[in-house]
Structures are given as C-alpha cells and as structure tokens.
Amino acid sequence: MTPLEISILLHYHVSADDYRNGDFSAPAVRNAIDEFRRDGFLAEAVETYYRITEKGQFYVKALCAVPLPVTTWIIPQPHPPR
C-alpha cells in the first residue's frame, strides 16, 4: 500500500468530509478510490461521496497497531571462528 493510499484511508477514518473536498481528479487519487471501493474499504455515502467501511476501519486499526522499529546491536563472530 502506498503512502497516498494510507493517507486516504486515514482521512476517511477520522473525517466525515471527502478526501481533497471531493476533488478526485488526480489520477493516483481516482485510482486509489476506485480500488478501495472495489476491495470493500470504501463505500458510497449519503451526504458525501464516500465513507469508510468496517473493513476499512479494521485495516486502519491494524496499521496503527504495527509496533515501532527497534535497533539491535550485535557483535559479529570473527571469521573464521577461533
């Protein structure tokens, strides 16, 4: 999933307004919206163009639950081992 696609899903997760105020003319945005509708992440809405579905909300919650990366320090073994 691209950062743009994540941004769109996050927008619909937290906002009742349409992404970019309903301007879906950018090809990447239009494509993402169409794919989200096809895959069941977004659905048509009454007062706006789209709303996030239960599937979309579940996915956003899963993205938010990804743990932060950590650094691990190691001491490499000498080559060849003694």
pTM (2 d.p.): 0.83
The structure tokens 């989200």 sit at 36
pLDDT score for 80: 72
Q: How many CB atoms lie within 10 A of CB 12?
A: 24
Instruction: Sketch out the chain's domains with CATH numbers.
Output: 3-64 (1.10.10)
Cα separation, 51 vs 55, in Å, equals 11
Cα separation, 43 vs 9, in Å, equals 12
pLDDT (tens, 9 = 90+) of the chain, 82 residues, equals: 999 999 999 999 999 999 999 999 999 999 999 999 999 999 999 989 999 999 999 999 999 999 999 999 988 877 776 6
Let me know: does 28 contact 20? Beta carbons within 8 Å.
no
